[in-house]
Structure 1
Amino acid sequence: MNEALPPTRRPGIRAAMFVDFDNVFTGLQAIDPEAAKRFAEDPKHWAEALSAGDSGKSARRFLIRNCYLNPTVYSKYRTYWTRAGFRVIDCPSLTQRGKSSTDINLVLDAMDALSGSVGIEEFFLASADADFTSLIQRFRAADRMTTVIAAGAVAFAYREMADHVVESHDFVAILNGTAGEPIHAVAPGTQRQAPAASKTKTKAASPGVRDVLEFVRAAPGPVVGAMVAHRALAADPSLKTDWGGFGRFGTWVSQIGKDIEYSSVQGGWVWDAKRFSLEDLPAPADKQPGVEEQVTRVTDVPALSAAQFRQIFQSMAARLGEHPANRTELSRQVRDDCVSAGEPVSRNAVSFVLQGLSYAGFPLSDEATSAQLAIAWTRYVEELCRVALLEFDAAEQLAVRRWASGGLLDT
């Protein structure tokens, strides 16, 4: 039986941070190279942002700050981390395939911290590597809070085992200095709460609120969340920074009140509670029947229709042809284009596709066509299915390809 943690002698949550440098850095490079550079060269900035709280009681004190990196590849960044107060553990490659010793060193140090006399209350693990799922389970079993900092796609089981997840876009916002307030970890499936004063300001002053109220109340049924977000941003561009201090669209729209309801199911929906309810949302089977539903449920591939995937590739190719932008800006542009085209998708869905294209090794250049984007993405989806041990017959495989490619492989 675990004994109660001893009282702390200083205010703040006693925390420990373990950073898988190689994993986070490569993940950020695929999303935003400038953010990756800031992560590697200014760790003090984002560590302080994560340690900040709403008050002295909720602020974190990182008693342990460890960084694990491969010195053969990333030795030039070592000094930045030691100067920021991190203990840097060199993890060189030990095999011919280049596999480093990060995993075993990180796990051993984390278990030492878990069993130590200090009584760490919250463990931060900066890595999207699902191999650490068992470590998160051990933290949870010992009744410790766990927070995962993700820079890239995260396995469903790994995400759900953690108490909180700092998503890629939130972490990039910290690194790029675009967060409206210190980013706090958000529990999977929940919405972050903002200070009461911020809520009052958003309700009273934001033109985005007024536009959303008018739009949703006049809608003939529940409205796709991406479409509502697009209307709010058009009415109030300042919300692009951090949704008025709420961090996410779902949190922001949930705090409007006035009978406006929001649910994150099926990609997110907003409705007028005086006329509709959760039961009025379209059935999931209407959107993604059969084998597609298996893929989205097991692999975390966005639950979009073939038409939505097709629009993503077409919008992406058009934007890249105009002027290749960084992935953060490109995801926003493609999201807006899809909404305008009548095939609304969330920005998270677009970011997931961009990450998949990056993992597939597809270069996002001005010469990329929608068909080429569809082919690379479909191959990535098929690889996810293979890793997840999903077995399909020939007809089902064809259905997956047509769905994931948006039908572009047939044209």
Structure 2
Amino acid sequence: MSDPLPRSGRPGIRAAMFVDFDNVYTGLMALDPAAAKRFAEDPKHWTEALADGGAGGESRRFLIRNCYLNPVVYSKYRTYWTRAGFRVIDCPSLTQRGKSSTDINLVLEAMDALSGSGGIDEFFIASADADFTSLIQRFRAADRMTTVIAAGAVAFAYREMADHVVESHDFVAILNGTTVEPIHAVASPKQQHAPAAAKPKTKAASPAVRDVLEFVRTAPGPVVGAMVAHRALTADPSLKTDWGGFGKFGTWVAQIGQSVEYSPAQGGWVWDAKRFSSEDLPAPADLQPGIEEQVTRVTDVPALSEAQFRQVFLAMAARLREHPLNRTELSRLVRDDCVSAGQPVSRNAVNFVLQGLAYANFQLNDQATAPDLAAAWTANVEELCRVALLEFDAAEKSAVRRWASGGLLQSTQTGDSTA
């Protein structure tokens, strides 16, 4: 490799962005067509959002901005990207099956950037294609930070190799203008020992904080984060926009202080540090070591119990019957309904299920029933297991189907009521 050029003295993390346009656009179209349109027609917006999310408050400088697209299908978007400062590389289909040259072009130019004299600190790969796993390995071996932007299912090995993954729902939130937590990045040498950038402060006297403090301090043990979030949103509905500038519930509740502790483990837990600790967190409900635990560990399927999955599908079907909802609103309402029903689940878990339904090409409309939702989701879980090379015998397959479907498929097959 060439020796990196000395730093110019200009502030910012030196970053490179490589976008697999076809992969991201088609993934977003399956999740949120409006977000896909914003991705394609306003790349400057979301690129600037990522540029502002560096470690220690330091912004990123994208020294390289490359977009790889099929000109036969997506040429109408070219001008949006060139105006946003991207270099657009045409990658037309080269085979009868429509396979383009995106992968090889992206890899070659990314390796040129890694071995060049630019001294790139962080590499962004916008693609859910696990074929780039080996490329991420090269970045890590060269001690570079790596961030994957995914608009689709992400293979476990690909996810684990990257330093950070911008999940589908987080990327959609960026595209829709909703604040999310800053994307982790490497700090420059001059900032490695600098104090962290100041974050917005929550008013101690706010109704939400008062309600959360009272709830947590009187609870008999650690409380599920979804229940605490529900209490906070009930006291102050304005928090649902972006949690008072903190982006996510976990960030908001963690900075309250006053002995309130938060852990994202198992969907999120909150407790009074004067009486409890992380050692008091319970084991995942109904998930003793076994086939379900193996699936959740390898595929990232939420570690919910059979009863929790069932409640998610029942709540989702009920909400869809009422009126059409966008995915963001639907995930919030389903989370709240599950909490009210005594089967609390995190919003991230609901989003993961919605994402799986999209991958299964399931149409979310007022005709969807709980068993229909359960069947589509279970098919997605089985596909994730297949891709992860998990092999099950007949009894194990039956156990996975019963668990992932919340018992609804089994109930349907035996003629029992699913109401």
TM-score, normalising length: structure 1: 0.92
User: Does the alignment pair 1:169 with 2:144?
Assistant: no
* Residues 243, 382 of structure 1: alpha-carbon distance in 2 compared, 3 angstrom cutoff: same
Identical-residue share of aligned pairs (%): 83
Contact 1:12/1:57 (<8 A) preserved: no
CA deviations on 1:343-369 (whole Å, 9 max, x unpaired) are 111111111111111111211121011
The RMSD of aligned alpha carbons is 2.2
Match of 2:15 in 1: 15
* Residues 291, 305 of structure 1: alpha-carbon distance in 2 compared, 3 angstrom cutoff: same
Matches of 2:230 and 2:317, distance apart in 1? 21
Match of 2:326 in 1: 326
1:128 shift after superposition:
1.8
Matches of 1:55 and 1:15, distance apart in 2? 13
1:178 shift after superposition:
2.6
Which runs of at least 4 in structure 1 moved beyond 6 Å after TM superposition? 54-57
Matches of 1:242 and 1:167, distance apart in 2? 17
CA deviations on 1:154-180 (whole Å, 9 max, x unpaired) are 233322322233333332222222328
Matches of 1:57 and 1:284, distance apart in 2? 35
* Residues 247, 5 of structure 1: alpha-carbon distance in 2 compared, 3 angstrom cutoff: farther
Match of 1:61 in 2: 61
CA deviations on 1:22-55 (whole Å, 9 max, x unpaired) are 1211222222211111110011111122222689
Consecutive unaligned residues of structure 1, counting only runs of 5 or more, are 188-192
1:253 shift after superposition:
1.4
Matches of 1:55 and 1:306, distance apart in 2? 39
Deviates more, 1:142-151 or 1:220-229: 142-151
CA deviations on 1:261-286 (whole Å, 9 max, x unpaired) are 11122121111112212221112374
User: Does the alignment pair 1:381 with 2:381?
Assistant: yes
1:339 shift after superposition:
1.1
Contact 1:223/1:271 (<8 A) preserved: yes
Contact 1:51/1:62 (<8 A) preserved: yes
Deviates more, 1:155-164 or 1:304-313: 155-164
Match of 2:312 in 1: 312
Match of 1:390 in 2: 390
Give the residue type in structure 2 aligned to 1:227: M
Contact 2:44/2:84 (<8 A) preserved: yes
* Residues 405, 120 of structure 1: alpha-carbon distance in 2 compared, 3 angstrom cutoff: same
User: Does the alignment pair 1:302 with 2:302?
Assistant: yes
Give the residue type in structure 1 aligned to 2:84: A
Match of 2:182 in 1: 184
Match of 2:78 in 1: 78
1:306 shift after superposition:
0.5
Contact 1:288/1:303 (<8 A) preserved: no
* Residues 175, 52 of structure 1: alpha-carbon distance in 2 compared, 3 angstrom cutoff: same
Consecutive unaligned residues of structure 2, counting only runs of 5 or more, are 186-194, 412-419
Match of 2:261 in 1: 261
* Residues 371, 57 of structure 1: alpha-carbon distance in 2 compared, 3 angstrom cutoff: closer
Contact 1:260/1:272 (<8 A) preserved: yes
Matches of 2:4 and 2:401, distance apart in 1? 53
Contact 1:288/1:304 (<8 A) preserved: no
1:401 shift after superposition:
0.6
1:150 shift after superposition:
2.2
Deviates more, 1:282-291 or 1:246-255: 282-291
Matches of 1:258 and 1:248, distance apart in 2? 19
* Residues 10, 312 of structure 1: alpha-carbon distance in 2 compared, 3 angstrom cutoff: same
Match of 1:252 in 2: 252
* Residues 197, 353 of structure 1: alpha-carbon distance in 2 compared, 3 angstrom cutoff: closer
Match of 1:291 in 2: 291
* Residues 230, 133 of structure 1: alpha-carbon distance in 2 compared, 3 angstrom cutoff: same
Match of 1:345 in 2: 345
Match of 1:190 in 2: none
CA deviations on 1:109-155 (whole Å, 9 max, x unpaired) are 10011111121122111112222122111111112222222223323
Contact 1:16/1:62 (<8 A) preserved: yes
Contact 1:194/1:245 (<8 A) preserved: no
1:195 shift after superposition:
4.5
Match of 2:192 in 1: none
Deviates more, 1:364-373 or 1:142-151: 142-151
Contact 2:14/2:63 (<8 A) preserved: yes
